[in-house]
A and B are shown apart, each in its own frame.
Chain A
């Protein structure tokens, strides 16, 4: 027996079956995947998971997958790290890091959304897939398209970090560099999806794509021993992830897999691109778009498609949103690396920096269980922190040279301490 799902309009409720489309043709509001939860309850059993591998496909009944779909890869299943050192530094009792910096295959949480998007692309018969991207999504599309035999076309801002461009090119994807920011690339892709029969994962396949984010939330709950945390701190670019983690938690409650409890959702942005956090902090009904100016390129979306939903989710949960400056992002990347041995990209610096700020503000309390979502890998954004670590002088391969250097360093350390 299979699970029934189809697209449903968020505003007017009209259903559309399963088609590659992101908005309602009746009222032009966004559509989402809606499930027949009675059929889900009949086939989804928590005890069935014990015989399945620890990756995102263990929750197959809760995802929009065509009947008989055989997952071609082992995406997800990332560690939930008990961050004792960082917790001690921040004065918290219970802090966890959901570490998608090591997500398979391309080292960001975008692997999850591409996995469900390509399942839909195959079902709809697309041979070419693509995306507009700030980098991580392009990597994920290129990698999984290569493995699954799709042609990949990705659209990126021309000034993207070199590592993210290389990490897309290596898989053989066609890269279109656009002279403009992400929002302009995204608008172009909406026009391209309107003209060409391509499966653009975050445009016409977006309802299926965004459902993959739920697995980040399922894993958090399962790894906490089938319970929900008190707080979740989530980076926000387009604003989709925070709403999908919330949807995952609601579904687990509805299935009876976790006990119902309030969870506060906290959104994290860079100050240089903070349309959602600004709207939350100023109490605005609608966000105001911004021109991004931040080193956190993967979060640099000034016109976030899911911004209105993210704002609603944060407010209704009793959470909050904050943002941090570029120097604070760099400092937070270093703090995470030095305390927990995890090297995250600039987006992770945003999330860690915002978490610290929320604790200082008293919005996250010491006795609560808090999960901070790390969504990308530091190896992709080394340019952002390179200046922090100047290359040291080399010495001759002799013991006396090493001893002289050591003496010099000790003297410098003593001088610095004296100051």
Chain B
């Protein structure tokens, strides 16, 4: 199992409480698909209706935002960590 997906506390109710999920995907997109296939209830919180990663979810490969690494097509290697971090925006307040 070459890659670990780290799950924030708020998401763990979808992963049976697991803080980390091992996966064998070779790209970020593949890792997210593996996660959502294994835990279908998390899927709508990871991607929006058009299949894009949700606007208020940040995804990191190790210490870097994946948007600087080519996005979902970015390839993974053994020992990589994929982090899911909910955004911390304050809102527009209408």
Q: Which residues of A contact B (CB under 8 A)?
A: 10, 22-23, 25, 27-34, 180, 183-184, 186-187, 190-191, 194, 202-203, 206-207, 209-210, 238, 240, 243-244, 246-247, 250, 286, 288-289, 291, 303, 305-309, 312-313
A30–B89 CA distance with the chains assembled, in angstroms? 6
Residues of A within 8 A of B8 (CB): 190-191, 194
Q: Can you list 23 A-B pairs with a CB-CB distance of less than 8 A?
A: A22-B86, A23-B88, A27-B45, A28-B45, A28-B86, A30-B89, A32-B90, A32-B91, A32-B93, A187-B60, A194-B8, A194-B9, A207-B90, A240-B89, A243-B90, A243-B91, A247-B92, A289-B68, A306-B91, A306-B92, A309-B92, A312-B92, A313-B92
Other A-B pairs, 17, CB within 8 Å; known A247-B93, A250-B94, A309-B89: A22-B86, A22-B88, A22-B90, A25-B10, A30-B56, A30-B89, A183-B65, A187-B85, A190-B85, A202-B88, A203-B88, A206-B89, A210-B91, A240-B89, A243-B93, A246-B93, A289-B65
Does B86 lie within 8 Å of A289, measured CB to CB? no
- Interface members, chain B 1-54 (any A CB < 8 Å): 8-11, 45, 54
Q: Which residue of A lies closest to B11 (CB)?
A: A28
User: In the bound complex, do residue B58 and residue A303 qualify as a contact, i.e. CB atoms below 8 Å apart?
Assistant: yes
Q: Is there an interface contact between A306 and B89, defined as CB atoms closer than 8 Å? A: yes
Q: A190 contacts which chain B residues (CB < 8 A)?
A: 8, 85-86, 88
Is B93's CB under 8 angstroms from A28's CB?
no
Question: Which residues from 75 to 94 on chain B have a C-beta closer than 8 Å to any C-beta of chain A?
Answer: 83, 85-94
Query: Quick one: given A23-B56, A289-B67, are A244 and B89 in contact (CB under 8 Å)?
Result: no
**A23 proximity list for chain B (CB < 8 A):** 10, 56, 86-88
Return the contact of A10 from the options B58, B63, B83, B92 (Cβ within 8 A). B92
In the assembled complex, which residues on chain B have CB atoms less than 8 Å from the CB atom of A313?
92
* A194-B10 Cα distance, complex, nearest whole Å: 9
CA gap between A313 and B63 in the complex, in Å: 31
- Count class of interface residues, chain B: 20 to 34
Q: A28-B45, A180-B63 are in contact. Are A10 and B91 (CB under 8 A)?
A: yes
Enumerate chain A residues within 8 angstroms of B89, measured Cβ to Cβ.
Answer: 22, 30, 206, 238, 240, 305-309
Q: Which residues of A contact B90 (CB under 8 A)?
A: 22, 30, 32, 206-207, 209-210, 240, 243-244, 305-306, 309
A305 touches B68 (CB 8 A): no
A28–B11 alpha-carbon span in the complex (Å): 9
Of A29, A183, A303, the most chain B CB neighbours within 10 A belong to A29
A285 and chain B: residue at smallest CB distance:
B55
B94 CB to nearest chain A CB (Å): 8
Give Cα A338–Cα B87 distance, bound, in whole angstroms. 41
**Chain B contacts of A191 at CB under 8 A?**
8, 83, 85
Shortest Cβ distance from B43 into chain A, in angstroms? 12
Task: Considering the complex, give the chain A residue whose CB is closest to the CB of B92.
Answer: A309
C-alpha spacing A305/B68, complex, angstroms: 16
Q: How far is the CA of A359 from the CA of B11 in the complex (A)?
A: 47
Contacts of B60 in A (CB 8 A): 187
In the docked arrangement, what's the CA distance between A396 and B89, Å?
Answer: 59
Kindly state the separation between the CA atoms of A58 and B94 in the bound complex, as whole angstroms. Answer: 23
Given known pairs A23-B10, A190-B86, the reply for A31 and B67 (CB within 8 Å) is no
A51 to chain B, nearest CB (A): 28
Q: Inside 8 A of B91's CB, which chain A residues have their CB?
A: 10, 30-32, 207, 210, 243, 306, 309
Would you call B86 and A291 a contact (CB within 8 A)? no
| Alpha-carbon gap, A184 to B60, bound state (A) | 10
- Distance A243 CA – B89 CA, assembled complex (angstroms): 11
Top-3 shortest CB links A-B:
A32-B91, A210-B90, A247-B93
